[in-house]
Structures are given as C-alpha cells and as structure tokens.
Copies of this chain bind each other. A is one copy, B any other.
Amino acid sequence: MKEFIVKVEAVLSAQSDTNFVTSRQPNIEVTYGGIPGDLHFGLTRLAGSREKMYKRGTEIFNRRQLTLVSIEECEEVARKLGIPHVLPEWLGANILVSGYPEITTIPVGSRFLSSNGVGLYNEGENEPCIGPGEIIAAQYPEFEKLAPRFVKAAYKSRGIICSVEVPGNISVGEELRLILA
C-alpha cells in the first residue's frame, strides 16, 4: 500500500438547507452520513443529474457525504481561469488539504486516516458542475464566462467525494495518512 501524508489546511461546512457555499470551522465532526447539520449530510439523498440511471428524485444511498479538495488543484484551476483565487468555500468543499497536488486522480477506495482514528473513503472524482462556477463568476464580475469556463478548467481537478468509514473529529492543522487503493 502506497502511503502519503497530507495536511488539513481548512475544514468547512455548509450550515444551510439551500446554499452549498461552505465556511471555515476550527474542526468538524464526521459521522456516518457526513457532517451533521451540513447541507450534504444524510445516509441517503435524492438522485440528481450525476445518477442518470435513476429517475431524478429517487432516494439513494448517499456517497457524496463530504468533498475534499487540494490547495494545489485550487491554485491550478485559478491559474487556468486567470483569476487570483479559487477558494474551497466557493466549491462547497468540506476539507482542504495540501501535500498531494493531484488529489482528484487518487483511485476510488483510497483512504484518509487521522491519528485519532477517523477514516474517510474516496468515492471518486467530484464532477464539476455550473453551481460553483457561478459563485466564482460573482466574485470576479470583470471576467467573462467564468461559470462555464470553470466547468472545463476544473475537469479532473475539482477534488473528490468521500464517505465516512470511521466517525470522529478532524481539525485544522492536523495531518492525515493517505493510503492509495
């Protein structure tokens, strides 16, 4: 098993029923289903455009419990778009890490383990959609067509979705072992 160390640069949650934009927290509690109170929390959720094999609105198991992005990929997407920053808040990310630049490319089934026992399981790439692009576009009104350009620029570098394998607490500044599948 190949192992790496990544550093938790920020933990964030969306304490809203409607707005996916996240805000920084000193730490987050994760449990089966995700972060209690977060927009994406739940053991189940309703199928959307990413699960075209189900009728929209079908109740399905929730694999999109948390999203995780890397500082390096956020900077790369910003560079491609020619803007100063792409912040994890705007992507609705829950965990921002550094130390493994191309985090979106890690295999499904890879794990992030904290020293106090938390286990997160990589459920795969988070496919870019227009929502975060619109948030980014609103930050930089002087740039044209940022929303659709984001979808292209973030392809394969928009981070991953994770489910919780072992619950617990994750804090800013701690290190996680990344075990590749």
- Output the residue of A59, A111, A165 with the most chain B CB within 10 A: A165
Binary contact track A135-159/B, C-beta < 8 Å → 1, others 0: 0000000000000000000000000
- Determine how close the nearest CB of chain B comes to the CB of A164; give it in whole angstroms: 7
A90 at interface, CB cutoff 8 A: no
Taking a contact as CB atoms under 8 Å apart, the answer to whether A166 and B54 are in contact is yes
| Cross-chain contact of A113 among B53, B108, B124, B163 (Cβ < 8 A) | B53
Which residues from 59 to 85 on chain A have a C-beta closer than 8 Å to any C-beta of chain B? 59-61, 63
* A179 nearest in chain B by CB position: B53
Interface residues of chain A: helix, strand, loop or mixed (majority)? strand
Given contacts A32-B61, A53-B179, contact A109 B121 (CB under 8 A): no
Known: A53-B113, A54-B113. 10 other contacts (CB 8 A): A1-B53, A43-B43, A53-B111, A53-B177, A58-B117, A58-B166, A60-B165, A61-B164, A61-B166, A108-B108
What are 7 inter-chain pairs, A to B, with CB distance below 8 A?
Answer: A1-B53, A32-B61, A53-B119, A60-B119, A61-B165, A61-B166, A109-B124
